[in-house]
Structure 1
Amino acid sequence: LMVNVRVRGIHATALAKILLERGFNIVHASKKIKERFKIVENRIPPDVTVKDLEEKHGVIVLGDYEEAEKVYNTLLDVLPETFSWKSKIPHHAIVKGVVIKIVEGKSIIDLGGIHGELDEELNIGEEVIVDIDRPLLPPSNIAKLSRRYTVHGKYSALIYGLKGKVIVSRHITDPKVRRNLQTLASLMKIEGNWGIKWRSSAVLAGIDDLMMDVQETLKKAEEILRKAEKASPGEMVYKGRFFGVIGFTSTTRKYLDNVRNEILPTIMGHHMLKSMDNNMVNLVDYTEYLLSRFISNREKLSEGLMEYLIENLKERRRIEIEHISLLSNEVKTLTPGSILTVKYSNGEIYGVVKRVFRSKGIFDGLNIPKERGDYDIMEFSTNGYVLLHKYYSKNGVFKGIYVNINTPPEISCRKIRYYDLEIDVVMAADKEPKIIDSEKLNEALSENIVSEHLFKKYRGIAENILKYLEKHSMPEKLSLEELLENVGATTAKLKNF
């Protein structure tokens, strides 16, 4: 059976190629994708959608459960160095639960192994039918529940408790189409306490199909509620939808650059720049236009654009640091810095950044006081799995080093970005080095965010750094280059890991 997938966003061309080659069908495609893959216009609604995360550092895969899980697992198998967060219970699954305790006006409900929280006060021991209102992504363990059950059809979804209301997907932007869908729904006057939500695929269907879809979904929804009444506690009466997130690293994006290049001229760094910096989009497009006109080759043009980016960085002098947590996939912005040096050779960008701290506190991990005016000299390389931070007092007295272990950083005109791998090595000025936060990396493994194979690689980097620092009597003399060479924490050395 063909699985129909809609792919949207800046990674769409590369992902469409990967999925097409593995027997998936691409539907509801953009004009560009249709042209690139010679896809015949069809009106098939998607079973699965793949789209960018808000911050564009990865993708979301959602849709009918079995089909979407297939797409998700395929992408995880094919793409190198990715991280994954999959909802622990299907999104919008409908489950019979039992109230086990009341906390601050909310009911904690046992769903048969997984617990959830409902924003109303019920009685302990009471049975209640609930909807999994938001995807339950690791490392979280408490599902957000609601009693507004959502049942999906192909073009519509019915939402219980919204009697007579009509919602149109925000992805349908044409005002005329929105009005027509509103009108159609209000003419249909459906039974019971259900409201209608038109899904983005509604634009693909004619009036008859839309009306039939709502009628069929209503039958299904009523049937589910009847089944739920009779269900025993912990029983799932509606499977709901798959929801999974895949985090991309610089390794993943380089791979996607090469996949896209097989379809049309693509510079190295294409996905990195498009995902990090809207100001670079036109430049990337123009560079690829030159490439398609055979004005120069891929290596030279990619290099030229990188050199241009470096010149730009030197002029800006200020760089932001986006630090993405491996556990929660949240993007944090660290204290920005000013660029002291930045250079480019053989595809590697190396830089030194000075960050001055404006407020008092404690240096994380080192557990030593941080005063106003203390500063950090941070070294990075786009080929390295570590960032080296050296902390100084405002008069230049060395306080300690913090070796942050992360995916090789990506860089644009205004920021650098990496996944923080939740394990670090620190060494205060007069103390022994130690590994910190390793329990967080362990948790990422037990939550299936990171594979066993990557876990061993990252853990190994930390252990090698620790061993190296134990032999090092002058931590403040340590350079990133020396560290990377000696602990084998570069992309080149780890290629065959």
Structure 2
Amino acid sequence: MSDRDGAGVRVRGIYATALTRLLRGDHEIVQASEPIRGRFDADLPTRPAAVAVETTYDRQGVGVSGRAERVASIAAELRGVGVDAFAWDDPAPEGAISDAAVTDTRGGGAVLDLGDAEGYLPFDRADGYVETGDAVRVQVAAGEPPWSDRAPECTTRVEVGNGLARLVRGASGGGASVDLASLLPTDPREGWAVRWDERADDADLDALGAALADLDERAERLDEALSDEVGAPRRLTDGRATAWVWFGRESRFALDEHRRAVAATMPGHHRTKAHASAASAAVDFAEAVCEPGGEFPFAAVTRQFGPREGDTVALEHGKPDGRLLVLGRGEVTDYDPEGGITVEREMTPGGRYDALGVERRAGDVAITKLKEGRWWYATVYRGADGERRGTYVNVCTPVELFPDAARYVDLHVDVVKHADGTVERVDDDELDEAVAAGQVTEALAERARRVATAVERALR
């Protein structure tokens, strides 16, 4: 799908260069930053954006927000970057307006039942006093990826925007220079006030007029949708469709190749930038002073930012449906500069170990060996007396070792070795179900099956 004759796509964050190259063949890139314009040596216009592609706060992927048909197209394109990329639609998309019920208050805000999702309304973003049992009309101001443990942030203020300007419902005038406002042929819709973004300074009057006309049309539709009184929890408008794309390790290296085509790019550029926020400046410096070459410098990155011996690391166990489960946290007891760590966790008694079928006892420890880029990792469970109680091998997307976490997406199928030496492969049916549900591609599932077969043979 091409949008060459319509509003374009705005790209921001650590993946911007790679995604600009990837998308600009079929989509017009607009509102580009100065570095992006320089790298592409192209006239990338400052026009309204139909879709925004922005890096998530944890740098693990991107959010794609905007017109529904284009969000679906772009999310599908980004999912195709690498075999370990995933995409999920957001049930509470940016800009969606709902009548919500306040179910609880905590942490300086109200927990909301939006009807088909949960939201959070900070008290300083509410118009008036809010307490449990109230009904309130809210708009999703900032979405959250499915792997986050936070609810989307809401506000009682209603607005629409396109990157160049915003219209705010019920606000007073202002927010634009007198000269700029006087040159436009129309005023914003009655009952709405315009707020111009700083990017508007780079746009011509035709683009500004188009931006305001687009917002007026959307504001008119909202006025019609919001004419009723606040009612039971329900969605009133869908706002901008939102999808979330998570990039796995192989996908990050595939994005390196896109970036390398237009700019000096060190091995593991995106993998390192995702590693820690402080690593971004180091990457920029390295690429500015030398022509990068070689392989991803795991040892250099982890020596500087971790994880190292003595650090605490969480096992962040992603699921193909977008959820993130933390299996536990443990101490790094061994560090291999060639790409691996060993993590030891003390287990709490009670229940049984999945698939192994043995009881969890007081004094049990789990010893997990993780290697950067490997499609599996093994955990050995031992009793307080050192007796091996079983081994569990998790098949997953390539492991990435970050300063405070090992991250991957679980691919369901696993292999276990019982204390008596019996080897068993489990959960192939769950992988098949994930493929049928569209959560895992057939190519990724086949890779998982091959890995499980190899592990099973090695353990026998």
d(CA) in 1 for partners of 2:15, 2:112: 40
Instruction: Give the aligned residue type for 1:246.
Output: V
Q: Which residue of 2 aligns with 1:477?
A: none
Give the conservation status (yes or no) of the 8 Å contact 2:353–2:359. Answer: no
Match of 1:38 among 37, 41, 62: 41
- 1:352-378 deviations in whole A, cap 9, x for unaligned? x14131644446414544445432222
Give the conservation status (yes or no) of the 8 Å contact 2:307–2:332. Answer: no
Instruction: Give the aligned residue type for 1:337.
Output: E
d(CA) in 2 for partners of 1:440, 1:144: 33
Q: Which residue of 2 aligns with 1:386?
A: 376
Q: Which residue of 1 aligns with 2:23?
A: 19
* Percent identity of equivalent pairs: 24
Q: Which residue of 2 aligns with 1:342?
A: 336
d(CA) in 1 for partners of 2:201, 2:65: 19
- 1:91-114 deviations in whole A, cap 9, x for unaligned? 54679x9x9xxx9999896xxxxx
Q: Which residue of 1 aligns with 2:107?
A: none
User: What are the equivalent positions in structure 2 for 1:298-317 lying under 5 Å apart?
Assistant: 298-299=293-294, 302=295, 305-309=297-301, 316-317=309-310
Instruction: Give the aligned residue type for 2:72.
Output: E
Instruction: Give the aligned residue type for 2:245.
Output: I
Q: Which residue of 2 aligns with 1:264?
A: 263
Q: Which residue of 2 aligns with 1:357?
A: 346
Aligned residues: 422
Cα distance change of structure 1 residues 17 and 150 upon mapping to structure 2, 3 Å threshold: same
Give the conservation status (yes or no) of the 8 Å contact 1:426–1:435. Answer: yes
Instruction: Give the aligned residue type for 1:306.
Output: F
User: What are the equivalent positions in structure 2 for 1:264-343 lying under 5 Å apart?
Assistant: 264-292=263-291, 298-299=293-294, 302=295, 305-309=297-301, 316-318=309-311, 320-326=313-319, 327-330=321-324, 332=326, 334-343=328-337
Q: Which residue of 2 aligns with 1:221?
A: 219
Give the superposition deviation at 1:34.
Answer: 1.4
Root mean square deviation, CA, Å: 4.8
Higher helix proportion, which one? 1
Give the conservation status (yes or no) of the 8 Å contact 1:362–1:369. Answer: yes
Instruction: Give the aligned residue type for 2:264.
Output: P
- 1:457-486 deviations in whole A, cap 9, x for unaligned? 3245446645665xx3xxxxxxxxxxxxxx
| TM-score when normalising by structure 2 | 0.72
Instruction: Give the aligned residue type for 1:334.
Output: G
Cα distance change of structure 1 residues 449 and 199 upon mapping to structure 2, 3 Å threshold: farther
User: What are the equivalent positions in structure 2 for 1:140-219 lying under 5 Å apart?
Assistant: 151-152=160-161, 155-158=164-167, 163-164=170-171, 191-192=190-191, 217-218=215-216
Cα distance change of structure 1 residues 222 and 356 upon mapping to structure 2, 3 Å threshold: closer
Cα distance change of structure 1 residues 417 and 153 upon mapping to structure 2, 3 Å threshold: closer
Give the conservation status (yes or no) of the 8 Å contact 1:408–1:418. Answer: yes
Instruction: Give the aligned residue type for 2:284.
Output: D
- 1:32-67 deviations in whole A, cap 9, x for unaligned? 111111133643222221111111111111122333
d(CA) in 1 for partners of 2:293, 2:346: 41
Give the superposition deviation at 1:133.
Answer: 8.1
Give the conservation status (yes or no) of the 8 Å contact 2:353–2:360. Answer: no
d(CA) in 2 for partners of 1:364, 1:262: 48
Q: Which residue of 2 aligns with 1:493?
A: none
Structure 1 gaps of 5+ residues are 110-114, 123-128, 167-176, 231-235, 473-497
d(CA) in 2 for partners of 1:288, 1:208: 38
Give the conservation status (yes or no) of the 8 Å contact 1:150–1:157. Answer: yes
Q: Which residue of 1 aligns with 2:389?
A: 399
Give the superposition deviation at 1:381.
Answer: 2.5
Cα distance change of structure 1 residues 443 and 146 upon mapping to structure 2, 3 Å threshold: farther
SS in 2 for 1:259: helix
Give the superposition deviation at 1:407.
Answer: 1.4
Give the superposition deviation at 1:28.
Answer: 1.5
Give the superposition deviation at 1:298.
Answer: 0.8
- Does 2:415 correspond to 1:411? no
- 1:435-457 deviations in whole A, cap 9, x for unaligned? 55667645644553322332343
d(CA) in 2 for partners of 1:198, 1:333: 46
SS in 2 for 1:401: strand
SS in 2 for 1:54: coil
SS in 2 for 1:71: helix
Q: Which residue of 2 aligns with 1:488?
A: none
